[in-house]
């Protein structure tokens, strides 16, 4: 049997933690292995429970979720992080994704969608709540020089790698990219891995952001 996805829940509200644990721990293929009440508890909790996915609140009293995400993603072999919050401002979305979060979900996400999101994030796919993607693309203000920096960064890629970057930015899964480019799934995975290494990025979401900054998506 496939090992269940191990989930760590980080939220300062005990009722929220209890609700999420009840919802997710009974879902197929998911095991809630631990909880933390603040961002400063995350490193110890991650060490103790070895989660695959961390569901991270944004606003906590001592260490916020973005700071905790950045610190966690800077460790060797870190778990994936999906932010789960009620604060969906453009600034929060961008800060979380640039800190290394693989997803940005709202707390009113229906249970079945949250379960699917956990599985997708665990498999390396980015996930955003409905509406967040469009807001991210339509309203995010590109900082001065971001276009030129993004284009220069992408210049290190081969033409085929750039095609993969564009497909990732358009939300295509690996199997869809393989079909579009007439290559094997293993080849697509290898290209994505190479792109991440060349660009110094952590995940597919950051690839999409860079492609957006470069005007490719």
Q: What is residue 138's predicted lDDT score, i.e. its pLDDT?
A: 59
- Fold of the 146-213 domain: Arc Repressor Mutant, subunit A (1.10.10)
In the chain, CATH 3.40.50.2300 covers 5-138
Torsion of CA 164, 165, 167, 171, to 10 degrees: 130
Q: What is residue 93's predicted lDDT score, i.e. its pLDDT?
A: 83
In terms of DSSP H, where are the helices of 74-173? 90-98, 111-122, 132-139, 146-154, 159-169
Three-class DSSP category at 121: helix
Q: Name 156's Cβ contacts closer than 8 Å, sequence gap at least 6.
A: 198, 199
Q: Give the CA radius of gyration of the chain.
A: 17
Q: What is residue 134's predicted lDDT score, i.e. its pLDDT?
A: 63
Beta bridge partners of 166: none
One digit per residue, pLDDT tens: the chain, 217 residues?
578 999 999 999 999 999 999 999 889 999 999 999 999 999 999 999 999 999 999 999 999 999 999 999 999 889 999 999 887 777 788 889 889 999 888 888 889 999 999 999 999 888 888 767 666 655 555 555 677 888 899 999 999 999 999 999 988 889 999 999 999 999 999 999 999 999 999 999 899 889 988 888 7
In the chain, CATH 1.10.10.10 covers 146-213
pTM above 0.75, yes or no: no
Q: What is residue 92's predicted lDDT score, i.e. its pLDDT?
A: 84
Q: What is residue 116's predicted lDDT score, i.e. its pLDDT?
A: 92
Q: What is residue 131's predicted lDDT score, i.e. its pLDDT?
A: 65
Given this structure, which CATH class describes domain 5-138? alpha beta
């Amino acid at each position: 049997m496939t090992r269940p996805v191990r989930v760590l829940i980080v939220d300062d509200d005990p009722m929220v933690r209890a609700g999420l644990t009840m919802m997710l721990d009974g879902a197929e293929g998911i095991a809630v292995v631990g909880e933390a009440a603040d961002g400063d508890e995350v490193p110890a909790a991650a060490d103790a429970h070895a989660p695959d996915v961390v569901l991270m609140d944004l606003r906590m009293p001592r260490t916020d979720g973005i700071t905790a995400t950045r610190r966690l993603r800077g460790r060797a072999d870190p778990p994936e992080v999906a932010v789960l919050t009620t604060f969906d401002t453009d600034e929060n979305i961008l800060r979380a994704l640039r800190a290394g979060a693989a997803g940005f979900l709202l707390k009113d996400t229906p249970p079945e969608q949250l379960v699917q999101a956990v599985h997708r994030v665990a498999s390396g796919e980015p996930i955003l709540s409905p509406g967040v993607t469009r807001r991210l693309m339509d309203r995010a203000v590109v900082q001065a020089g971001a276009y030129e920096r993004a284009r220069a960064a992408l210049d290190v890629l081969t033409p085929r790698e750039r095609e993969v970057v564009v497909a990732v930015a358009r939300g295509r899964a690996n199997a869809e990219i393989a079909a579009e480019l007439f290559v094997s799934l293993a080849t697509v995975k290898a290209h994505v891995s190479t792109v991440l290494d060349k660009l110094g990025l952590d995940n597919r979401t950051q690839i999409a952001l860079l492609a957006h900054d470069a005007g490719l998506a």
